[in-house]
Amino acid sequence: MPSFDLRRQLEDLRDGNRSVEDLLHFLQDYPYQDLEFARIDHHRPLRTGFPEVVLGRGKTPAQIAKIVESLTGRGYPVLVTKADRAAYAAVAGPTPSAVYHGLAQAIVVPGPEPAACREGVLVMTAGTADLPVAEEAALTAGLMGSPPQRVNDVGVAGLHRLLSVLDDLRRARVIVVVAGMEAALSSVVAGLVAAPVVAVPTSAGYGASFEGLAALLGMLNSCAPGVATVNIDNGFGAGYLAAQMNLMGQQP
């Protein structure tokens, strides 16, 4: 515990076991250590199973491999999102325990022990083209201890498909809706359940979907309250939020 460390070092100084110069040097970094506490505070969930996450896009395979290597072995899993097979090939050398999830386009280095498992998250897609983003969301939530139930291909064009899973929706504590095109699914689901809905617009579609803009605007303008929107194709962000919410009711 950092606080403990600090107290002990102050006691060391008081007791003559440490010099002022030595402690000054330590405290020169103190704000950062203090914020290191913050970081630890913030990262506490990670130690309980939350992954350290790297966005693969925009990084070279060599950069990704190096970052993954430095993060591996710290007691929690490592997740690289938007990573192609070339990145995985580079990672697998120095980090052979890394696993590639092809559909989600993600690399995972499992943690030392399986994450605690809490039910309550449901990840659903409107169509087959939304699957990669949903996989990313599910993978993330799972690594954070909330392996989700999956419901696929329940777009509003066939409402009966949606209604046939209504019981599952009502049982969920958090629902991640992954949808492209007009993304009406998030509004419809949010109108049917009491749980918060995390809405992920996808770039699935063409023409006036404008690479996900239509879906994004649709989700932001939901006529039903209780919809939390994330970036287009941001499965990771949605899975993270869903797990974060799902853990809120847990006893400390």
72 is a contact residue toward a second copy (CB under 8 A): no
Residues 6-65 contacting a second copy, CB under 8 A: 6-7, 10-11, 13-14, 16, 20, 23-24, 27-32, 34-36, 38-39, 41-42, 44-45, 53, 55, 57-59, 63
Nearer to a second copy, 109 or 227 (CB): 227
Q: Does residue number 223 form part of the binding site for a second copy (CB under 8 A)?
A: yes
Q: Check binding of 195 to a second copy (CB under 8 A).
A: yes
CB of 189 to a second copy, least distance (A): 10
According to CB under 8 A, which residues from 117 to 146 bind a second copy? 126-129
Q: Does 227 bind a second copy (CB under 8 A)?
A: yes
Query: CA-to-CA distance for 76 and 97, rounded, in angstroms?
Result: 13
**In the block, residue with structure tokens 């994450």:** 115
In angstroms, the CA 147 to CA 212 distance is 26
Residues 92-111 that bind a second copy (CB under 8 A): none
Report CA torsion sign: 221, 223, 225, 227: negative
Cβ closest to a second copy, residue 91 vs residue 215: 215
Q: How far is the CB of 77 from a second copy (least distance, A)?
A: 15
Which of 86, 89, 99, 157 is in the footprint of a second copy by CB under 8 A? 157
Per-residue three-class SS string for the chain: CHHHHHHHHHHHHHCCCCCHHHHHHHHHCHHHHHHHHHHHHHHHHHHCCCCEEEECCCCCHHHHHHHHHHHCCCCCCEEEECCCHHHHHHHHCCCCCCEEECCCCEEEECCCCCCCCCCCEEEEECCHHHHHHHHHHHHHHHHCCCCCEEECCCCHHHHHHHHCCHHHHHHCCEEEEEECCCCCHHHHHHHHCCCCEEEEECCCCCHHHHHHHHHHHHHHCCCCCCEEECCCCCHHHHHHHHHHHHCCCCCC
Question: What's the min distance (Å) between Cβ of 113 and a second copy?
Answer: 21
Binders of a second copy among residues 196 to 215 (CB under 8 A) are 196, 198, 201, 203-215
Which of residues 151 and 204 has its CB atom nearest to a second copy in the complex?
204
Give the shortest CB-149-to-a second copy separation in angstroms: 17
Choices 69-77, 93-101, 110-118, 237-245 (CB under 8 A): range interacting with a second copy: 237-245
Task: Establish if 171 lies at the interface with a second copy (CB under 8 A).
Answer: no
